[in-house]
A and B are shown apart, each in its own frame.
Chain A
Amino acid sequence: MAIEIEREITPAGAGPAGRPARPWWMRPAFHTGLIGAVGGYLLGHWLGNFLSSSYPQNPLSDTNDVPIVLGYAFGVIGWLAGLGIFNELFAMMAGKRIRDSHQLAAEDGADTGLAKYFRYSLNHKTVGIQYLFGMVGYFLTGGLFAMAIRSELLSPTYHLLGPTNYLMVVGEHGTMMMMMMTSVILGPFGNYLVPLMIGSKRMAFPRLEALSFWLTPAAYIILLSGVLFGGFPMGWTGYAPLSVQAAQGADAYYFAFGLMGISMILVGFNLIVTIINYRAPGMRWGRLPIFVWAIFTTAFLMVLAAPVLVGACFMTLSDRTFQTAFFVNTLGGSSYLWQNLFWFFGHPEVYLLALPGFGIVSELIPVFCRKPLFGYRVAGAGMVGVAILSFFVWQHHLFNSGINPDMRPVFMLTTELISIPTGFIYLVAMGTFWKAKIRFTIPMLFCLAFFFNFLIGGISGVFNSDTPADTTQHGSFFVMAHFHYTIMGGLIFAFMAGIYYWLPKMTGIKLNETLGKIHFWTMFIFFNSTFLPLFALGLMGMPRRVFEYAQNLQTLNDWVSISAFCLGGSILIFLINLVWSTLFLREPETGNPWQSRGLEWQVASPPAPENFAAVPVVLSGPYEYGVKGAPPMADLNPPTGVISGALTGQGAEV
């Protein structure tokens, strides 16, 4: 364990090396980033036109893909440059000494006011809050697209959106959700809470962490910019060769998804290194909060799976711009190649959407059951098992594709095997509930809803894994219902549990309880009322991503659409609660409202810029509820010399 013991951080603003206090608009921030992005885009667009003037132009937009892609690339560089991300790089190249990132992180943390949330801030708590509000924004955008889809599906013939607009909306919804929501828990809670939970003052790589966040608005805006070119017709899966013949809107999809892939790799590396190296003394692997285990396994999935996506996106962009032929059958490419590459990333991806949810619910139920987590090792093993197996199942997306057909039983087996470690999460929960003292707080309600929804999602997943049954289910609304149950019903419900549980920690403000209860019940009821009928619709023969369907399915579809609008209303209640509680009501909650043993709750809310005054010494596990004479989780003010003594082999253990 690498522990930084005695590195002294000068208090903010005190040292001679402190940044000169310029007014906010003089410092690189969001607004300079926007200027850089626009300038970069124009430069890249001009360069692309210059390089590809002889390429065929798309008659619709009077341009081709090269200027768009180069525009995006230069736009991102301009955006990052405008945010000041390269300043230190240039300073180093000029031979200047740059300041220590941990020092800068501590100073950023000490900043007051809202301006720090709009700049390239190195403090993990600032980045966590940036991620939180960013992710809520991305989620709401994706949700609005869903409302548009359901409006179109009110009628079996197309009436509201034409086919182009319908596919644009479907693609934007799917991609926004599947691409941006990969970081919905890892970004906000992973960055904010992991150092607090492992007793660290900081993350390992503050600059990587900040960069990983600032790539997400770029990916978001680029993805949305596809709308300007009529969107992309491939949905979130981006299958070739449809992608090769698609208009320029598709560049937005591939560029944004690749960019988000890079962000995922960065956030994953940072968390892995932090969790391995920055645990406080006494924070053994066996005492690591189960949420941190979930983040750890998720981070590994991100680091191992996302590069495949980045590579595949780059290959498609090169097919579309400088005319390689990775996916063009007639030129020696293969339409199967994208399917393999995409799902080799895509299946680990859906588990990296599930694992953080497992982590949050397993972290929260001991607190509200007032009991230790049942089978801590089983829970950890379950997460590691899911993470490993997730790399061996991707061909179950291709059961009907004709590729490698005699291997289908094997992929059926690996897919079904995943339900064993996933079942561990249920074993752990049911064991924890045994003779518990269950407190029905709002986070707990969301956890309970998670177990309800995820069970339906998981069991329907076993139906999907079964090759004969999948013949009917594949590409139908059944599959759609399945993954909405696991991702929306699992991940998003866990995310909501996390917000209600940890927002008091992150802001020192608690969310309104009445609105929270209304939010929970409406969301739970309308979520199920929206997605349960979709299983039936799929089995009755409704394919995904269609704007026309059989007349006899209209009643069910209308039911689903109306439920979906109500679900949207429920999310609106959440938004009102979030804004109203944090901006207007501002009910303070500075203590430990849940009587949690967790290390993150032993410090003030919001925590001090450096989390802990001294590196804490962890004395026991986080879930020792009801254990007579259990020591507190950590000694926050260990006697001087205890840590260095332990490191040199004389001290604590004697």
Chain B
Amino acid sequence: MAAQQASAPAAPAREEPRHGLRIFLLWLVLSLAADLVIWFVWYPHLPPGDLSDSANGQQLDFAVLGISAAPVMVLVFVYFGYALIVWRHRPGDDEDGPPIHGHTGVQVTWIIGTTLIVLWAFAFGTWALIKPAGAGAGEGPQPIWKLSGKLTSTWTPGANDMLQVQVIGQEWWWTFRYPQFGGMESTQLMLPDNTPVEFHVTSLDVIHSFWAYQLAVKADANPGVDNIAYTKPGQLGTVTVRCAELCGLWHGAMFTSGRVVTQSAFSRWATGVQVSEQNDGLIAAMPPYALTYDPTVIPQLGQDIVKVAGITGGNGYYYSGAQAGTAGPPVSP
């Protein structure tokens, strides 16, 4: 675009240097350098890393946006820098500048140029959103861009089954339920590698936002809403889970960790937790697995289902995530 600046009407007075050409050359060299640095030096290190396909997609997205934006920024910086040095006011020169009110060519080229950049960003962004199945963002209860994988009621390693993980946000705790493992619940996010994962994010109270940083997944947890997001971990690693929507007092402390493990290790872990929670009576004490929950409705109210001290009680105590897998004092509503 710098080239068009050159065509602005230049008064052919005494030996006027070719400002437009100078700016154009400066811009060309600097933006080429910036783009090379972004693509070859920054791109492999850009967040959020490459743990999952959605993370890979976002990394590419950042890099492409970066190399598209850098020439624009370089143009403005080079132009202003050049102008401030070359066209600064010299002491004693009290004349006004040339009365240029506009230039149709420059204006039209600018408008066409910026429109093309915007359309390019839109086209690429849409592709980057649709191709990796919603790019790890929450897609509501009926996603239209889905990850391929078999939806099964049980999950077996090596069968390309879609793993379903329900993410429950509540003040101020994350819990994860695995419906394909009897609806067992964990406070740590465990995922198998090379497996399509379908997150069902919901909340029991206020709006939270499930942010699995290394997986590049973010989906708001709204009460009464089943918000679905997809990802596919590509390698082993750890995941930080944070709440990304202000949810009250301990929002800052609402984080937990997760791990991507091999499919067989995941299967062993999940089955083990399922068996132990069944034996504890924890699964029976929890509300039956559902896509959303209403915490004011307690299905087991009045039933004698307490098998583990302090998990829940028939006398009106309802399940609190803080007690999952631990034996603590009951929490009154």
Contact = CB atoms under 8 A, between A and B. Distances in A.
Nearest to A455: B76
Contacts of A164: 249
Interface in B85-112: 87-90, 93, 95-103, 106-107, 110-111
Contacts of A405: 134, 137-140, 143-144
Contact of B83 (A241, A329, A409, A438): A438
Interface string B196-221: 00000100011101010100111110
Contact of B61 (A330, A435, A466): A466
A468 B58 contact: yes
B57 interface: yes
Contacts of A233: 246, 248-249
B100 A431 contact: yes
A440 B243 contact: no
Counting chain B residues whose Cβ lies within 8 A of the other chain, the interface size class is 35 or more
Nearest to A479: B244
Contacts of A436: 83, 87, 97
A409 to B, nearest CB: 5
A408 B253 CA distance: 30
Nearest to A624: B99
A474 interface: yes
A371 B62 CA distance: 39
A124 B95 CA distance: 36
Interface string B67-83: 00100110011011001
Contacts of B106: 427, 431
A242 B121 contact: no
A401 B76 contact: no
A160 interface: no
B47 A471 contact: no
A463 interface: yes
Interface residues of A, number: 95
B98 A626 contact: yes
B220 A626 contact: no
A528 to B, nearest CB: 13
Contacts of B19: 434-435
A396 to B, nearest CB: 11
Interface string B246-279: 1111111101000000000000000000000000
Candidate in A335, A339, A434, A626 with the most chain B CB atoms within 10 angstroms: A434
Q: In terms of DSSP, what is the predominant structure of the interface of chain B?
A: mixed
Contacts of B321: none
Interface string A465-476: 111111110111
A406 B100 contact: no
Given A471-B137, A475-B218, A476-B244, A437 B96 contact: yes
B209 A475 contact: yes
Interface string B128-158: 1100101111111101100000000000000
A242 B58 contact: no
B242 interface: yes
B83 A433 contact: yes
A237 interface: yes
B87 A475 contact: no
A547 interface: yes
B98 A402 contact: no
Interface in B3-31: 5, 8, 10-11, 19
A159 interface: no
A543 B125 contact: no
Contacts of B248: 167, 233, 242, 245-246
B159 to A, nearest CB: 28
A547 B252 contact: yes
B246 A237 contact: yes
Contact of B96 (A242, A370, A406, A438): A370
Interface stretch (B162-170, B177-185, B223-231, B310-318): B223-231
Interface string A365-403: 000011111111110000000000000000000111111
B246 A409 contact: no
A420 B111 contact: yes
Contacts of A575: none
A459 interface: yes
Contact of B296 (A330, A452, A545): A330
B289 interface: no
A457 B217 CA distance: 25
Nearest to A338: B207
Nearest to A174: B246
B280 interface: no
A375 B5 contact: no
Given A372-B101, A541-B242, A627-B99, A440 B252 contact: no
Interface in A502-521: none
B76 A625 contact: no
Contacts of A195: none
Contacts of B216: 471-472
A451 interface: yes
Interface in A328-344: 329-330, 335-336, 339
A437 B93 contact: yes
B122 A546 contact: no
Interface stretch (A27-35, A37-45, A410-418, A643-651): A410-418
A241 B110 CA distance: 46
Given A336-B222, A440-B88, A550-B240, A371 B98 contact: yes
A448 interface: yes
B160 interface: no
Nearest to B296: A330
Contact of B252 (A369, A439, A541, A546): A546
A166 interface: yes
Contacts of B126: 409, 412
A150 interface: no
A540 interface: yes
A419 interface: yes
Nearest to B217: A471
Nearest to A419: B118
Contacts of B144: 405-406
A361 B134 CA distance: 40
B65 interface: yes
A641 interface: no
B246 A544 contact: yes
A390 to B, nearest CB: 16
Given A242-B207, A420-B115, A335 B222 contact: yes
A475 B5 contact: no
B54 interface: yes
A419 B252 CA distance: 34
B326 interface: no
Nearest to A541: B213
A459 B125 contact: no
B245 interface: yes
A372 B100 contact: yes
B101 A625 contact: no
Contact of B97 (A456, A471, A626): A626
Contacts of A430: 5, 76, 79-80, 83
6 contacts: A239-B246, A241-B207, A242-B206, A374-B102, A456-B73, A468-B129
Given A437-B89, A468-B135, 14 more contacts: A246-B248, A370-B97, A371-B98, A371-B99, A400-B209, A420-B115, A423-B110, A434-B5, A435-B10, A437-B88, A455-B73, A546-B242, A548-B252, A628-B99
Interface of A: 158, 163-164, 166-167, 233-235, 237, 239, 241-242, 245-246, 329-330, 335-336, 339, 369-378, 398-406, 408-409, 412-413, 416-417, 419-420, 423-424, 426-427, 430-431, 433-440, 448, 451-452, 455-456, 459, 462-463, 465-472, 474-476, 539-541, 543-550, 624-628
